[in-house]
Structure formats: structure tokens, C-alpha cells
Structure 1
Amino acid sequence: MSVYDLDRISVPVSPPGLCDDTADSHYVPAPCQVACPVGTDAPSYIGFIWEKKYSEAFEAITATNPLSSICGRVCDAPCEPACRRESSDGAVQIRNLKRFVMDKLGHDLPKTQFMVSRPESIGIVGSGPAGLTAAFDLCKAGFSVTLYEMTDRIGGTMVWGIPHFRLPSGIIDEDIQRLQHQCLGLTVRLNTALGRDVMLDELKQCHDAVLLTIGAWWGKPMGIQGEDHPNVEDGVSFLRRINDGERPTLPHTVIVVGGGDVAMDACRAALRLPGCKIVKVVYRRGPDEIPARKIELHHAQKEGIEFIYNTLQTGIRIEGDNLLLQCMRTEPGLLEEDGRRSPVIVENSNFEISCGMVIAAVGQKAGNKVLDSAGFIDLDRVQTDFASMRTKDPKVFAAGDGAFGGSTIVMAMHHGQRAAYYIQAALDKIDQPIAYRTPYRTRRVPVAQDLEWEQLGLEEPIFHGVGDEPETFPEIEDTYDESAAMREAARCYRCDAETGSTDYSVRHREDLFS
């Protein structure tokens, strides 16, 4: 038994006889762990990497994250901006360290398996990160779970929305095989779409609870004249075609409209396809307000993609064989709720950009005719109470992008964990359960005793870019070797040790950079 062998759905209680910092009244989770939506114990697995205890690091990584191999490649890593070393010489590369461990051990199947111990069953519609994570937690709690997936593959957006140069299909298979190996009460029904092959009322009769994790499967339109042209496509559909194996020949110049994750994946995928030589990204705000993760933006720029900021699309017209994207300049306006300034159009600033194809990555939406006609969907989402994860039907819950809008993999996983918690509470007939909280568990792991830790520079993996055969979508960067991983692990401040479990203070360390 380890400190992580707990029922995550229950309020965490330290098991007897185990040294667990979360039982210490002075314990405060490290900023990186607090920032992680699934509460990954980053300080512990970083410490284990330094000690070359990779099995223990694997345990710490996978304890609250059943999709750890995937997250080692494509997590947006909210832990890294929270790292206290970010303001000095750069955050510890927590995601890359996770990848290092998972590349070593991710193919291993854990010995622990979850038996069915309860009579109730749950039906989950959709097998993306929210659905898979909820299934993992519910199986761990002893329930029988059936996943209903409308396509022929498990994984949702991880399979259909992220290009293989960022997330190879074999990495997805690692996590899914490990999850299915552990979850003995899990049944998967592929090619089973809600409204086509199974109805909601049928699911409610078959199961004690239903969880909708249908994802934001459809791209939003730009709402401009001319976007019905055959060479204008939404980014979600474009990526789905590419991940299904298509390698279409594109025009010489492609414009991607948008600045989020879909835009970054779409512009980089387009650049790798035959025929395409120039890709431009048009975004309505400035470079400091683009929502794309900094590393993805940096990689796109290194690959030669041009970014045109403070530009709003207003229409598309045809000129011979080309499309002309009609645009206007913008300038920052008033602050909005998300902390960014609203773009204000500059009068008489009209101009046009010539291209052969426009990919619109301006947002995503959920869609299902059965749910829509039954009144579950409003404003492009399954209407869901975040405090309980319930829909308007007390037996039906919802989570993930389909309920709360397009987000990140790790945030969708958090939604899945919340949903599992409240589903169990409902089946336990607890009318007012304690509000869900991420259980920040940690180990007492010795800190890295490297006298040169404060001088160790940030370790960046080798970046390959588009590669010599771009159409094959080769992976863009390497994993750390052991020496690089140890050097990067030694850079960790070990903020979890600040309250006295070791003999030095993070505050003293930060003085070195002041």
C-alpha cells in the first residue's frame, strides 16, 4: 500500500502508518501542485527522478492522472507558470520530466486492478479525457461503467483533434491499455452514437446514472460573407480529416483565423501537407493576448509560420483561383472579464490578404440532435451546474468541453473527476455532499543534493520542427536523456519542503535571484 492507494472520490484521509505530508497541519501544497487541475504530485516525482527511482516517480505521476503518457506530450502544463523559478531563469520543465518517466515506464501495466464491488452501473457517453477520467475514478470506486463512443476509436479529441507530430497514436494507446487493464468493470461500445444507435431514455433505463462527455465536436462559423466557399473549412473538421489519415494537397498559401490550441495545431498541420508553402495566422488581438500556449506559439514561429495580429476578418471574396480574406485593423479596447482587452475596429483600415484556403479556428461547440430536441443544449453547450455536475435531469450528469466549452485536456480530466465524485454521492444518496476538492497528496521525498542547482540552466529538448519528411508527421521533439532529466529535476526549488521537512528554505533560495 502507498500513500496514493486511496479512494479519490472520498474525502482524503491519511492511511495509518504512512508518512503523508497532507496530514501535517503546516503542509501547504507546492504552487505547481495547486495549479494542476488533477493535483499531480510534481515535487515528489521530480525528487524521485533525481534519485533514479523511476517506478516511484511513475506511481506519483499516475496516481491522480490516468492519461499521464498523453499529458507528458500535450498537457498545457499550468504547473509551469506557477513554478517559483519561472520569474528567475525559467520554470522547471515539469511536463517534459513527466514525459521522461512515462517514456520509460508508460507501456508497463500496473499490478493494481479495480474489481467490481457495487451493484450500480454508470453509462458514459463519449470517451475523451473527461469520460475516460470519470470512468477510471468510478471503476476504482467499484462501479460497473459502460463507455459509449460514436467513432471507432477511444480517446475523443486526443485521437481526432491533436496531430500526430505532437501526440503519436502509440502514446494514446499506452494510456488506454493501462486504463482498461486496471478497470475490470469497464465495457466499451464503439461506433455507438447517441441518437443513432442508442437513445438517452434507453441509457437511463440500463444504468443508475448517465454522464454526458460529448465534447465540443464542431467548429464555430466566423459569421462572415463568403465562408461557404469549398476552400474554407473549420479547424476542428480539418484536424479530424488529417488525424483520420488524409493528406490532401493544399494551395500554396493557407490562412488560419484564430489564436487558440486548434489554430496552432491547424496551422502547423497545414504547413506539413503537400502543396502548402506559406501559412499565416490572423488573430484579432495583440501578441500578448493570444490564448495559445507560449511553447506552441514559439514552435509555430520556429517552423516559419507568420502571425498577423490586431486583425479582424470581415469577409471573403473570390479573385480568379485565389481567395481574398477581407480584414480590418483593431486596437485594444476595454478590459473584458477574462482580463484581456476587447478588440476595437480601426475605421478605414480595410485591407485584404490573398490565399488559396482559409481555416477557421474561432471556437468549438457541442452538438447532438437528441439532446438539443430534449432541451439539454443551450448556447452550444450541455447546460450543467458546475457545483453538482448535474443537468436538468437528476439522473444525467455532464462534464468536459461539451458542458463547459473548449478547454484543455487536463481541465477536462478535472471535470471528469468532479463528475465521478458527484455521481457516487448521488448513488450513495447523499443529498448535500461536501464540495469536491482536489486531494493534494504528496510524499516526503529527499531534495536533490546538487550544489550547483542554482546555476543549472533550463534543459530544452531537441526540437526537430517539420523534419525531413513533413507529410509523415514525425514527432517534433525528443524526450530527455537521463542526465538531462536529472539536471532539470535538480532545478526544482522543492517548495513542498519549505515548511520544515528539510533543512533549507525556498525563500532563501529565491534571494539568490533577487
Structure 2
Amino acid sequence: MRRSTARAIRNSRCRWAEVGVYDINRILMPESPPEYQDDTADGHYVPAPCQVACPVGTDAPSYLAYIWEGKYEEAFEAITATNPFSSICGRVCDAPCEPACRREAADGAVQIRNLKRFVMDRVGNQYDPPAIAANKAQSVGIVGAGPAGLVAAHDLCMAGYHVDVYEMTGRSGGMMVWGIPAFRLPPGIIEEDIQRLEQRCPDLTMHFNTALGRDVSLDDLKKRHDAVLLTIGAWWGKNMRIPGEEHDQVVDGVGFLRRVNAGARPELPETVIVIGGGDVAMDACRVAKRLPGCKHVKVVYRRGPEDIPARRIELEGAIKEGIEFIYNTQQVSVDAGGNQLKLRFVRTESGEPDEDGRRRPKVVPGSEHDIDCGMVIAAVGQQTECDELDARGMMASDRVRASFDSMRTLDEKVFAAGDGAFGGSTIVMAMSHGQRAAYYVKAFLEGRRDPMPYRTPFRTRRVPVAQDLSWETLPEQEAEFFGLGEKPIEFPEIESTYDEQTARKEAARCYRCDAETGSADYSVHHREDLFSMARTNIVDQAKHKAMLNRRLRLRENPFPEGRAPSLDDLVFLPANLSRLVIDPYREACKISTDLAGKLPLELPYLATGFDEAPEEIRQAVAKGLSALGCSYVGRRPVGDSVPWLQLVVAGGPEPSADAAALVHVQKTKFQPPPDKRLHAAQLLGIAVSSTALLEQCIVHGLEHGFDIILLDATNGIEGNWPELGEAPSPRILRDAITILRSLNREEEIDLLY
């Protein structure tokens, strides 16, 4: 049971990390519990891959957008809304959001973690969170003050419960305090997050130096509290299970890091070998390199470099610091000889895939060899130990026996979460366990025996897209790497925080996948077709024909009652019928157009409403429109360099030969406009705002060779600032398309909206 549960969690992490550009799993998500604020029910919102990959659902696109705009307090809110340990995660999160970033395959993922660090360093220590007092009589006892336990405590306090946390050491933070070296996570950063949490949760009580089974029993906790949550962590390293590992100079990586983080700076032998390839191995090898006496550190891993689980940035950092990596090598025994240890190894090669999907290492016959060293640090896994739980039958081998589906143990009043229940993982994954456990504990306290399955809620701040114009070409902004520093034994930080200019450049690289447009129908049902079309060989006519037929299939009624007006049918679907560029997020798309085949526009955008504006404003508008290759619609021109579509109104200026188009405005009663052009290149158009006149205008335009129908959704385009009068309605656009479709003459006249 334990193994299958842990495997499901790991596979879940991998699945989100591998979410594709248009992966249907990202779009068709299960419903979120109703008590959580979630925006996925909005058909026009699809969470970005980076947000889905985050175990706590951080709204990364929004905070990146706020950073670019210089709105750091808003960015802080978006970061901390789902993450009480944002300062910590800004430095040591394994950042599953980054491999999920769409830009990863182009010129490198957006450095989301570094940008979080920038915001938290800039704003975090200035924030004074409001205290949320308990408003319920029930209380919860939590064993363990690591990331899972503290996040669960935070969420339960926010829900109004009294919470007591029992911690066996003298500090809050768990492995964040005792397992991560200070050169990656300075103690002050940890304290900053914990102080914010404690200030926000005044009814959270901490009990330090209180161990389960030694200072307090499970029965005691069940009597004191209405529910108990076990987040006891995986504090002990696993054995290598080879002869000779009981030698004094063979230590486990977790214990080694714990002693160093407690302040010890032992003298090490000249050569140290670290066995393993995960997070503990990376921290242990880099710590050893900084301690006195140690000159050479070698990391030995039984699989190849493509399978090592260490995060890329940590692996590269270790290599830069002079640590040697030996791959496809597996330990066999340890032999002591004087002050030296002799490790016997064998070579390995890739075998059949194991339960995690990685290829199992297979021993190469006759490949035995020895490596000499003075110390061995074994970082081959972590385990949980608790005699009290073991005596109650609540342990499954080296973990608490619990179901991930409900976070329950064998005792209905006792829940479990974090590394102690589901295996060694990352900080952010442990935090997500805490959120999940808090949800099920709350449901239990409310008497809900079969609550809706938990899903991480996803929210968007709907930040408008506004980026640096050179966002496509901005290179990845790397933080400065300091490495060992001048005094390695003092554990100085290994990298810098972005300055403001660098942070804004990096934030501008975001593709803003959260701002994708289109209705739910477009997003869900057609996105995979688009992706397939973009990557299908152009000569594969059969596949293209099948996709095209599916896209062209007529609906009985494209505008049923109750369907909100949408631009999808007008803008997106016709574009989808042609082969796409290989990736619309990375390759330039042509957006220039020719109005009625005669008036070229670099951008399909027209401005209006500045006829009576001050001259300096008109000049500024003209300069902008000219630079962008746009045009102006009005009763008089805005500038000589801007194509002018003249609005011809009764009692207004006479039609001008300088106008690129004459657009005759129709108001409450249809007055057939003249079809006279003042020169051959001049366009003719009709402007209409009333749906009652729409069909007459369209038919007249078609029958008399007009080029344009201007659909005025403001009911006053010929005036000043017409969009301020009332909210424009796209209904007239929908009705115009309906009329043209009924006449089967959609291609014969251009529509301007």
C-alpha cells in the first residue's frame, strides 16, 4: 500500500511537469471543492502549464506580469496567496514550474523561482500580515513543525480552528532548518516566513522539544484535540545494505547535514565520497567541500547522468565548485585499512524500466574496482522512525500507514501528511500535502464523511498583457553565481538576487499562457487539432483533410439562444483552417492586412474619437498610429502620415479626396448613401450602429460595390470618446455575420468593428 501510494505521488509530479503546450489534461481538470476560490470554471481561463505544475498552484503568470509593471506588492500577494513559505521557496524550491514553461524548449524557461526571490527580498520583510483569530471551539494537534505541518497549521488557523504544533526539536521548520545548508537557505530567510505565519495565526501554539512517544503520547493528543495530524518527517537516512558500512567514517547524509546545520564544522579527511544522486547527496557533497580538511569530493551514482534526480541548477552548481561525478557505478562493500577506506564498486548499465519508469541499473560482469577515500556519506534515501506508531500498527515499513486519497491513518481521528507518510520529497510537495491534509481534517471536523476529492485550486488575477516590445529576443537572465566564496567555511550564499532591471527583463520573457483567448469550446475541443496541424507534415494530405473536415463541420445553429456573443467564430476559426507556424508562441506571425485589398495596414487596428482633442494629443496619436502602420477613423484627419477613413455625416464636412475611405454614417433611419468615389483608390463604406438598420446597410453595400461595413458598437463613433458613453456590445458583430452567412456572401465585403 505504501509503495503504490508513493509511486502515485511521484507519477503525479512527473505528469504535471510534463504538461504539453496543448495537453488536454491541463484543460479538462476535475472540479475544485466549492469552498475554495477557483477560476477554472470560467471558459475563457485555462491555467498556464507553470501554474498547473506547481503543487500549490501559485499564479506565476500574474506575479511575473506584476513584476514587469513594477507592481511588487501585487506580485507579493499573488505569490503568497497559496504559499506561506514564499521567501524560502524563492531560494530552494525545486521549481517544477520551470520545466513546464513553454519557453523551455526555445531559449530557456523563465526563471520563475529567481523572480519570486526578487519580490520576497524586496517586499517580504516589509509586510505586516493581519492576524486571523480562531472562531471555532475545536482544536487540532499537529505533530511536526516542518513544511507539511506548518502549512496545514496555517490553513486550519485560517479556517478558524485552534492549532497546537508539537515539535521534537527546539525550532520550527523541520528539514528546511536542519537539512538545507545555509549557503542555499540562510537562517534569516526561514525566520522571516515563520514570523509572518505566526503573526497571522495568533491561535497557533508551538510546543518545542516535545517528541511523540517520549514527551507526549498519541492518546494524550487525541484527548486534547478533536483531530490529530502526523507530519513527523523522514529524519533518518537509509542504510546502503553493504558489508562494512558500520564503520565510524561511513555516515548517513541526513544526519551529516543535521549536525552541520546545528553549527558543527568538523575536520574532514582529504577525500570524501558521497553515494547517491538526489537532493541530500547534492547538499552533502557541497557541504563537505566547504569544511576544513576536505580537498576532493566525489559523487557516485548508480545510474547515468540522464537519470540523476538532482535538480539541474544544483548539479551544475556542484560541478562548478569542483565536485567530481562518477556515473553508472554501484557500491558493493566498504573495507577499512588504517585511516583510509577502500570502497568496492561495480560498473552498471541500463536495464529494464522499474516502477518509476527509469531503467533499472544492471551490473556489468567483471567490472569490480576500488576507490580510496577517508569518509563516505551515504545519501541513498530517507526513512521515518516512531516506536509509538509502530507499536500501534500504524507504520508500514519505514513510513506512517496512510491513504493519500483521504490523508487518513488507521485511526479515524488521526491523519498523516508529508515525507513521514509518503516518502522523501521536496519542500513545495510537502507543503501541498499540508494543504491537502488541512482540507480533509476540516471536512472531518465539519462532519463530512465523504468530502469532494481535493484538487489544488487555480486562480488568475487577469493581469492585462503588457510586455517589453523586445520580449521575444530577451535572453535568459542568470543570477550571479558566487560558488564557494572567499571563506567557504562561513557558508556564504551561492548566488545573487536579481536587481530591478534584470528582474523586469526576465519577467518580460513570459509567454503569458494564462492570457490565451477563446471560448471554452475553442480552448478544449480544438486546441489539440491546432497542435497537430502545426506539427503534421505538409504533404500528409489525408491527415490534413481529416482535420479540416472536422473543423468545417457545420452546426445546426451557430448562435443558439443563451449563447453569449463571442469573437471565436469570426477571428479564430478561419485562421485555424490554414497550416500554422511550427509554434505560435515562438515564431513570428504575419498580422498585416489589406483593407478591401487596397489599403495596407501593418496592424489591423484603427483609432477614433480624437477629432476635437487638443492639438498636441492629436499629434501624439498621429505619431503613434504612423509608427505602427495603423489608420484613423473620424470626421477630420488626425495627421498627414496616417491613412484617414472619413466619417461622412449629415451637416458635417464634405467628402474629401484626401481620405483613404469615405464611410457614410447611418443613424436612426436608413438613408441610401451615394456610391461615388473621389478617386479610383478611394474606398467606400457604411457605418451602422443600429441592428434594425443592419440588414439594409449590408444589402445596399453588397449591391452597390461598397468595400466596408463599419459596425459601431458604441452608438456614436462620430462623436468624441464614444467608448466612454456605454460598454460596447459585440452583438452587432454577431448579427452582421449571421446576415452575411444567410446571404452566402461573407467574402464580398470587409467588416470593421
TM bucket normalised to smaller: over 0.9
Match of 1:509 in 2: 585
Q: What is the rounded CA distance, in whole Å, between the counterparts of 2:336 and 2:136 in structure 1?
A: 62
Name the SS of the counterpart of 1:255 in structure 2.
strand
Superposed counterparts of 1:472-487, under 5 Å: 472-487=490-505
For the 8 Å contact 1:126–1:156, the answer to whether it is kept is: yes
Shift of 1:450: 1.1
**Which of the residues 348, 352, 362 maps onto 1:344?**
362
In the alignment, residue 12 of structure 1 is paired with which amino acid?
Answer: Y
Distance 1:303 1:329 in 2: 26
Partner of 1:171: 189
Q: Is the 2:33–2:453 contact (alpha carbons within 8 Å) kept by the matching residues of 1? A: no
Shift of residue 22 of structure 1?
Answer: 4.1
Distance (Å, rounded) in 2 between the aligned partners of 1:509 and 1:235 = 43
Residues 221-240 of structure 1 aligned to structure 2 (within 5 Å):
221-240=239-258
Shift of 1:219: 0.2
Following superposition, the deviation at residue 109 of structure 1 comes to 3.6
User: For 1:218, which of 236, 249, 252 is the aligned residue?
Assistant: 236
Q: What residue in structure 1 maps to residue 351 of structure 2?
A: 333
For the residue of structure 2 that corresponds to 1:327, the secondary structure is strand
Q: Given the two structures, how large is their TM-score scaled by the length of structure 2?
A: 0.65
CA contact (8 A) 1:69 1:172 kept: yes
* Superposition deviation, residue 323 in structure 1: 0.3
Would you say the 8 A contact 1:9–1:420 is kept in 2? no
**In the aligned structure 2, how far is the partner of 1:313 from the partner of 1:258?**
10
Which residue type is aligned with residue 391 of structure 1?
T
User: 1:18 is matched with which residue?
Assistant: none
Contact 1:454-1:491 at 8 Å conserved across structures: yes
Separation in 2, partners of 1:58, 1:10? 25
For each residue in 1:136-160, what CA deviation from the matched residue of structure 2 results, as whole angstroms up to 9, or x when unmatched?
1000000000010000010000000
* Candidates 63, 78, 93, aligned match of 2:111: 93
1:510 counterpart letter in structure 2: R
Aligned counterpart in structure 1 of residue 274 of structure 2, from 241, 246, 256: 256
Structure 1 unmatched runs, 5+ = 1-7, 15-20
Deviation (angstroms), 1:106? 1.6
Using the size of structure 1 for normalisation, the TM-score is: 0.95
CA contact (8 A) 1:316 1:323 kept: yes
> Structure 2 counterpart of 1:118, which letter?
K
Q: Could you report, residue by residue, the CA deviation over 1:395-448 in whole angstroms, capped at 9, with x for unpaired residues?
A: 000000000000000000000000000000001111110000111011011223
Residue aligning to 1:77 = 95
Q: 1:319: how far off?
A: 2.3
Q: In the alignment, which residue of structure 1 is the partner of 2:155? A: 137
Q: Is the 8 A contact 1:10 1:421 kept in 2?
A: no
- What residue number does 1:361 align with? 379
Instruction: Identify unmatched segments of 5+ residues in structure 2.
Output: 1-31, 520-566, 576-580, 590-753
Which of 45, 48, 63 is the matching residue for 1:30? 48
Is 2:322 the counterpart of 1:318? Answer: no
Tell me the residue number matched to 2:435.
Answer: 417
Q: Which residue of 2 aligns with 1:401?
A: 419
Q: 1:431 to 1:82 in 2, by over 3 A?
A: same
Once residues 37 and 204 of structure 2 are traced to their aligned partners in structure 1, the CA distance between those partners, rounded to angstroms, is 27
> 1:111: how far off?
3.6
Give aligned-pair identity as a percent. 67
Q: Is the 8 A contact 1:109 1:181 kept in 2?
A: no
Alignment partner, residue 5 of structure 1: none
Q: Which has the higher contact order (CA 8 A, sep 6+)?
A: 1
Corresponding residue of 1:296: 314
1:149 corresponds in structure 2 to 167
- SS at the partner of 1:453? coil
From 447, 461, 480, give the equivalent of 1:443.
461
Alpha-carbon distance between aligned partners in 1 of 2:92 and 2:37, rounded to the nearest angstrom:
32
2:484 match: secondary structure: coil
Max Rg structure:
2
Q: CA deviation at 1:292?
A: 0.4
**Residue 195 in 1 paired to residue 223 in 2?**
no
Aligned to 1:4: none
- Is contact 1:108-1:178 (8 Å) kept? no
User: Judging changes above 3 Å, is the alpha-carbon distance between structure 1 residues 45 and 154 closer, same or farther for their aligned structure 2 residues?
Assistant: same
Code of the aligned partner of 1:427:
L
Q: Is the 8 A contact 1:270 1:279 kept in 2?
A: yes
- 1:321 Cα offset (Å): 1.6
Supply the distance in 1 between the matched residues of 2:193 and 2:162 (Cα, whole angstroms): 20
1:271 aligned onto 2:289: yes
Asked if the contact 1:9/1:137 (under 8 Å) is kept, the reply is: no
Task: Return closer, same or farther for 1:257/1:351 CA change in 2, 3 Å cut-off.
Answer: same
Q: CA deviation at 1:379?
A: 2.0
Q: In structure 1, the residue corresponding to 2:314 is in which secondary structure?
A: helix
CA displacement at 1:187 relative to structure 2:
0.4
Partner of 1:11: 35
Instruction: Give yes or no for contact 2:37–2:459 (8 Å, CA) kept in 1.
Output: no
How far 1:10 moved relative to its partner? 5.3
Q: Does 1:60 align with 2:78?
A: yes
2:129–2:199 Cα contact (<8 Å) kept: no
What is the distance in 2 between the residues matched to 1:447 and 1:487?
15
Provide the secondary structure at the position in 1 that maps to 2:98. helix
Q: State the superposition RMSD in angstroms.
A: 1.8
8 Å CA contact 2:49, 2:100 repeated in 1:
yes
Q: Equivalents in 2 of 1:34, 1:110: separation in Å?
A: 29
Structure 2 counterpart SS, 1:318:
strand
Matched, 1:386 2:407: no
Residue type of the partner of 1:53? K
Within the alignment, does 1:468 sit opposite 2:513 as a pair? no
Aligned residue pairs: how many? 500
| DSSP 3-state at the match of 1:107 | helix
Kindly provide the amino acid, as one letter, of the partner of residue 409 in structure 1: I
Q: What is the CA-CA distance between 1:23 and the residue it aligns to?
A: 5.0
Are 1:44 and 2:93 an aligned pair?
no
Aligned to 1:285: 303
Question: Structure 1 stretches (4+) deviating beyond 3 angstroms?
Answer: 8-11, 500-507
